[in-house]
Copies of this chain bind each other. A is one copy, B any other.
Amino acid sequence: MNNRPSLFTSLSPALLHLYDVRESIVVIIDVLRATSTIATALYNGASSVIPVDSVQRCIELGGQIGAITAGERDGKVAPGLAYGNSPFEYPRSFVENKTLVLTTTNGTKLLHMALNNGAPTVITGSFPNLSAVCDYLVAEKRNVILGCAAWKDRFNLEDTLFAGAVIDRIREHFEINCDSSQMAATLYQEAREDLYEFMKKKDASHYHRLTGYGLEKDIRYCLAADGANVLPIFIDGRLVVNQAI
């Protein structure tokens, strides 16, 4: 007898079409830094985060509703936007009860792709909200697709490590016939003792890119578990804290 729901890992937006998102919870994973920042802003009291797929749309919508406009392109604050993509830009004193309109290189793109493909439930995952994600997936007992945002469709280590961390915690609740998931869990086992050192030792492309901008502190925060342990869920065009937890 086997009635456990399935779990798959999509390593890149360019592979998402291989999985049936219409019957699944899709977890959007963009560890450095979109989904870490989304969790942090909501944890710090932001009323919602609206992910949009272009800088232009971010500026327009931010102006219309009087929201904070935020986002990056290629790791830096996008021209025309007020704030960037660092979780440290969104302390409670700044974001409480505010709405953030956010656009990022990879994470918001994947989120819209999942929605356009018919995903009934979309949540966002990152190490700062690892436990909230795992608790939700176990409680829901539905099929899961862990969707790595990657970097311009290229596989990256940090999103895969997060997928591996989730699988490591919840695998006995799911049927996993998926080499990507097995690889992610194996990689996480190798890296778990010190994720930062692993990223450094492997010269991860995103480690390289962000340390070039002096963002070591961001990387360390984004690789630590449960610093902003809420569950962002996409409802009516916005990411809000899931109230069921």
Contacts and interface: CB of A to CB of B under 8 A. Distances in A.
Nearest to A180: B155
Contacts of A178: 154, 205
A208 interface: yes
Contacts of A208: 177
A13 to B, nearest CB: 10
Interface residues of A, number: 29
B186 A203 contact: no
Contact of A177 (B11, B155, B205): B205
A6 interface: no
Interface string A9-21: 0011011001000
A190 interface: yes
Interface string A136-174: 000000000000000111111100100000000000000
A204 interface: yes
Nearest to A205: B179
B177 A203 contact: yes
A115 interface: no
A61 interface: no
Given A15-B155, A154-B180, A186-B202, 12 more contacts: A11-B155, A14-B14, A15-B153, A15-B154, A154-B178, A155-B183, A156-B179, A160-B183, A177-B203, A177-B205, A183-B187, A186-B190
Closest 4 CB pairs of A and B: A182-B202, A155-B180, A157-B179, A156-B179
